[in-house]
Structure 1
Amino acid sequence: MDEAQTVPVRGRRVDTTAVDPSAVDHRYYDFRSQLRVVDTGDWLASFEQITRDWLEEKGYGVEGELPAVRKEDAFDLRLDGISLGEASAIRLTLAERGDQGEWRTEVLALADPDAGSWISITVRNSEGRFANRPRVVPRLLERIEVLDGRSELVDDTWAVQIQHLQEFLHVLGDRGRRAPVFVTAAPPGADLEKVRRWMSERSQELAGLAHSYVLDANANAALMQGLGPFMGVRPGTIRSFAPRPVAHDPSDALRHRVIGAARLKDSTLGSTQALVGRIARFEAATIVEPLVLREARRAFDRKAVDDRYRRSPARLDSTLRPGQERPPVWTPIPQGPSSLVRPERPLPVTPTSSPAGGPSPEVVEVPTPAPVIESPPPSPRTPAHRAPTPGSPATPSPEPDPHPGEIAPVPDGVRESVDTLLAFFGTDSVDDVITEVRMMRALLDEAAEDTQRLLVQRDKHADVALELELTVDDLERELSNEINRRRTAEQNARTLTIYREPTAEPDAQPVHPLDLEQPEQFSDIPEALDSLERFVVFTGKRSVIEELDEYDLNHLGAKRCWEGITALFDYARARADGVHDGNLHTYLMSTPEGYAGFPTSQYAPVESETTMGRRDLAAQRRLPVPAEVDPGGYVTMWAHLKLKQIGRISPRLHFHDDVAGTGKIYVGYIGRHLGISGS
């Protein structure tokens, strides 16, 4: 990279783990915390001082009254305040640029005696990097009294025994709680303190975002009895309880994420900490922001537009909400010569001559008034043109200026600036410059009005999008429950079939997917596949499939994947039983009664010709198999099942059909869509 383009990293720990921006769900990587303030003192003044001290430590110090603004090569910041009726708010916006992209931080504090007081902190990276918690957060927690519901957010893990279970249930069921509660359970007879330390090590990224608890075996049994088996916490797993869990509701259980024991066992401590932290960030991001915070942010956005364009008082007042203070506006000079300004450089000029007693040139409003330069004393040949002083006799009107538009005499040193101004506008007349400035002012006002209208439209679209997201979540949970009901019906039908037609000894029957507990998420599928090796063998990487859990929020993708595996299993079983003698496509087209099927539209035996013609893309699909299938240990698996679209990713299951040889299906890959031609 060119040295001139390199900007030093400031204010962030070095992080080189950027991910593909096209697939980034910022809810997992952004830091976003909302803290309810219960402090009864002048906490806004403390907030402002803490924020200024933090900026000073980062080398971004600002002084003076609000708004305080700094713009440098490596950062931009704005610390501003606003009044909204009885409420007051302060907001810091900070953009830091470096070789890790741009870090954008917003710290917003709102003191509202009616709707409640809040502090909101958000950090986001333009390249999708994991945002560390800013150091200002613990300082705010230390000096300002905040609560999550009725509980504090502490940087520690609590151990809960049966005698303290009621206190834990109060936290779990607190209707004012907004932060998730991460819980693990100790197995019977385990050292509770040892399990607490295990959980504490994995909860390092939860500070300020979530609660952390460990339940002993008796407390966990009582919890499962009170909330139902769907809400249980198995030993060795970690579950995050979202706010307001509904007892004995399998649909609501989908909201409360689970990190399986197998994944925790296979992961390093660092990767587990990051995983727990990402889930905490996601849970924090999905909680609906209080309306008062959204309105305060929007008021700051409107004020920033007004401050940028410096609109006139008459037009500005029409856009203000009741109780909103008007920001500083353009201040006209009531009398005397006008001051014109060139962008980024004020240049003083004097007006053209006008008849004494007649109308003086119209005053031009400017962003930053330049020093007024008085005209030199009139020469005998050029009389002064000024309005009569009250009480003094009026002077006769002079002859009209034979050269209108000429610049009046100016002191030495100013002529160069005047000439530069005229050259900038491409004219030799100050009247033309004044006309041009008026046109520019009109365009600025029009741009400001358009921007304000766009802000209103943006806010309306954001509210509609939020409602749609909530509706989609509800519909996906209903669909997931419907899949569960259908699976239960299939299990019952299979059980009846086995009892009605006992063609073989029970021990001789292979384990069927319907006989197993359905995996709750993608990370549970590899372990479940270990029981199906009679017909289906998984040869892929567990870590790749586990990554899908962060996108499959309602587990619909995992359930679709398990349906595909069930169909592959029954296809191989039907071939072994002599019920079907065709290939997978003909099996899916006419699935025998009593065997599981899968939509043929979601099955692809090959890739496109352009994709199969590229060696690099073929190499991605060259996946492991046992030596009895191929001596080299790898085959190219073009055939795949299309799983449910999850956000911006389209998971795929790639497999090799060796039913004609070993009698099995080999699943070599379950993960995000592999590369294709044109990608």
Structure 2
Amino acid sequence: MTASDTLPRESTRLGCRSLVSVAHDPQLVDKVREQVRSWCVSKRWDAEAVADPGIAAVAPGVHASFVEEQRQDDSVIARWRFTQSESTGTWTTQITTLLHRDRSGVVWVDLYAPGDRRPAAPRIIRNIGEVIDALDGGYRAPATPTRAYPDDVESIYGALDDENRRGLIFLAGSDEDLVPMPQWVEYVTKLLKGTNGLATAYVLDPEATRELNRRLPQTHGVRPWTIRTFYPKPDFSSPDDALRHRVLSTGRIASSDDRGVAGILSNAALRNSTQLPLPNELIRIDRRLRALLDEAVIERASAAPRGSLSTTSNEIPAATVQATEITADTDDAQTSKKATGFAPAVLTALRLGLEKVAGKAELSIDSVNSLVSAAVDGIKYRENIGFLRRRLESVEAERGLLEDQSTELQTELDDARLDHAVAQQTLDEANRELRHLRRELAKLDHGTANWVTETTDLDVPPESFRDLLARIAELDHVVFTGETKPTINLDDHDPLGTWAKKTWNILRALNDYACLRAASEFQGSVDEYASNTPSGYMGLTGHKAGETPHTENHSKYGKIRTFPVPESVAPSGKVFMGAHVAIAKYGMISPRLHYYNDAAQSGMIYVGYIGKHLENFRTT
């Protein structure tokens, strides 16, 4: 049996990464050290325990380590690591610094969080950003949003186009029409609070907005009173690339709650921060720092010497214990207690302890000191074994995480390739049918027909799942009855809004079906509608009419597929929703939409769930 078989694997994932550089700062390590100390104090942890290299418990359930090395080339590397065990799982915050010989440097902060949770960026990132002149690539990266003027446009454009940039850049545009600039700056700063230290943000004044838009192609422009997210390595020559750089529209900002908008922006920054690979130099330094930590753990484990304690610490004074044996059942027991200061039962316990440890029960000053020394050593060894066990668990968890991520990434890649192939095949068939229809119309002398389609509000797709939830009310025959959180969480896996757009089309198809069914213009099921969609209505793919009876009747899997409906539909207020539509095939996420068809009675479709694939017999 291997160590990984005996140790529980903790489900932790990289939830946040901040990586910035400085051009020249000889005091970089000291500045970071001071911010780590202040951060520990603010959390009521023992900051002094990691003031010097070593390993220590800094609070109940919190263990810390600090390793540092002055290298032969006069560079310095250092790392602080804090592991916090809570009921929700294990949280690990790791702060790394690299100071080159020319006194340029790097500050790198990682946060590992339990499960699939998307954590907030730790405050230490913002604190460090406030005391250093941080750079992302070759350009300044302020820790908080900054108001930009026309003179700043050149450097902003340079930062956008910098090949070495890692973080997002948020640009908020403006003009002279809506709100005063100070109020707009304050509002944007509040919305972007969760991105501090992870992204760069500028609030462009009206003239700066116009000047930057003169530099950018129209497809990549920043409209007034919007916030645009620019990912690394934009291709300004490609109109298609503009889809990557999402726009938070004025209407969306005005219609959504501030917390929801802030969540969209912070999640985008967090997601981007964890997706880019580390530079090769930092990979090598990471290996060295891991080795230093392992050496520190081993050194601590071997640093508890056996032997007698000095008489100035835990030694029992000679006047306290008589060298002669005194038994608990002698007639002089009370006299013995007065002479020694101990009850006879205590002396008996001491002799029994000595016999177990030393093999003899002779009670003397030396033997008692040896017993105390052995006890102290045992406590130290127990603590050291605990540190070794936690380090081994951490390494095993990291290895397991890498294995899981590798498997999941390969699955997601295979699924994405399949989805792309299916989409391309569908597009080819649609284009072939369109060409055929045009040829047939031309034969009937209708070749000059108007091929420009009319666009309605429903034809404008939502930008995200959060936007989709806000717009479901536009569909007259569809009602969403489920919880919003699983739906909104899909935005973390859908940076371009592709799934949200596809889900919108699914909802429109269900709406069209219910409309026809309520008007008695279509008598079949949703399955029949999907396989033979009436002309002029939205089609539906990936539909499944229901789950197996085994799943429906299962105590767990049936329950998690039971969702709310009005009591007029079901007196209990809930129904099993086995009918569902596959939104996408994407590893363990593979989102699904579950619904209940009540079109024949109330004319409505009730959607109870939009989210990641629900558990079944194959996923557990």
Tell whether the structures are fold-level matches, with TM greater than 0.5.
yes
In 1, Cα distance between the equivalents of 2:438 and 2:180? 45
Match of 1:643 in 2: 583
Matched, 1:347 2:289: no
> Is 1:62 aligned with 2:48?
yes
* Residues 523 and 607 (structure 1), Cα distance of their counterparts in 2 relative to 1, 3 Å cut: farther
Q: Which has the higher helix share?
A: 2
Q: Match for residue 89 of structure 1?
A: 77
Q: Read off the aligned partner of 1:60 and give its amino acid letter.
A: D
Match of 1:555 in 2: 497
Aligned-partner Cα distance in 1 for 2:76–2:576: 62
Question: 2:262: which partner in 1?
Answer: 273
Match of 1:176 in 2: 164
Q: Which residue of 1 aligns with 2:352?
A: none
How do 1:31-70 and structure 2 match up within 5 A? 31-52=16-37, 54-55=39-40, 58-62=44-48, 65-67=52-54, 69-70=56-57
**Which one scores higher on RCO, CA 8 angstroms, separation ≥ 6?**
2
* 1:554 Cα deviation from its structure 2 partner: 4.3
Please say if residues 596 and 607 of structure 2, whose CA atoms lie closer than 8 Å, have aligned partners that are also in contact: yes
1:188 positional shift: 7.2
Larger Rg: 1
The letter of the residue matching 1:651 is P
CA distance in 2, matches of 1:456, 1:130: 18
Q: Select the residue among 108, 116, 134 that pairs with 2:96.
A: 108
Q: Percent identity?
A: 19
Distance 2:13 2:395 in 1: 27
Instruction: Find the aligned partners of 1:181 and 1:477 in 2 and give their Cα distance.
Output: 30
Unaligned stretches of 5+ residues in structure 2 = 1-8, 310-314, 316-357, 376-388
How far apart are 1:109 and its partner, in Å? 0.6
1:53 Cα deviation (Å)?
5.1
Q: Does 1:256 find its partner at 2:245?
A: yes
Q: CA deviation at 1:75?
A: 2.3
Shift of 1:578: 9.5
Matched ranges for 1:564-579 at <5 A: 564-568=506-510, 571=513
Cα separation, 2, equivalents of 1:98 and 1:120: 24
Is the counterpart of residue 239 in structure 1 residue 228 in structure 2?
A: yes
Where does structure 1 lack aligned partners over 5 or more consecutive residues?
A: 1-21, 311-327, 332-339, 350-370, 372-405, 424-446
Q: 2:62 aligns with which of 60, 69, 75?
A: 75
Contact 1:251/1:478 (8 A) holds in 2? no
What secondary structure is seen at the aligned counterpart in 2 of 1:105?
A: strand
Give the CA deviation at 1:203: 1.6
CA RMSD of aligned residues (A): 5.8
5 Å matches for 1:412-427?
Answer: 413-415=365-367
**Secondary structure of the structure 2 residue equivalent to 1:62:** helix
Aligned position for 1:621: 563
State whether residues 62 and 70 of structure 1, in contact with CA within 8 Å, keep that contact through their aligned partners in structure 2.
Answer: no
Given the alignment, which residue of 182, 200, 203 partners 2:192? 203
TM-score (normalised: structure 1) = 0.62
C-alpha separation between the residues in 2 aligned to 1:412 and 1:141?
A: 61
Alignment-derived partner of residue 336 in structure 2: none
Which residue identity is paired with 1:604? A
Given that residues 238 and 258 in structure 1 are in contact (C-alpha distance below 8 angstroms), is that contact kept between their aligned partners in structure 2?
yes
Tell me whether 1:605 sits opposite 2:591 in the alignment: no
SS in 2 for 1:286: coil
Contact 1:655 1:665 in 2 (8 A): no
Q: Indicate if the aligned counterparts of 2:62 and 2:82 stay in contact, CA closer than 8 A.
A: yes
Kindly indicate whether residue 129 of structure 2 is the aligned counterpart of residue 141 of structure 1. yes
Change (3 A) 1:463 1:279: closer
Residues 302 and 77 of structure 1: CA distance in aligned 2, closer, same or farther (over 3 Å): same
Indicate if the aligned counterparts of 2:28 and 2:105 stay in contact, CA closer than 8 A: no
2:312 corresponding residue in structure 1: none
Identify which of 283, 288, 311 aligns with 2:272: 283
Question: How far did 1:516 drift?
Answer: 1.5
| Residue 577 to residue 644, structure 1, CA distance change in 2 (3 Å) | same
Distance 1:113 1:547, change over 3 A: same
Contact 1:94 1:105 in 2 (8 A): yes
For 2:307, give the aligned amino acid: L
Cα offset, 1:479, TM superposition:
7.2
- Do the aligned partners of 1:115 and 1:292 also contact (CA within 8 Å) in 2? no
| Structure 2 counterpart of 1:3 | none
Aligned: 1:537 with 2:478: yes
Residue 525 of structure 1 is matched in structure 2 by 468
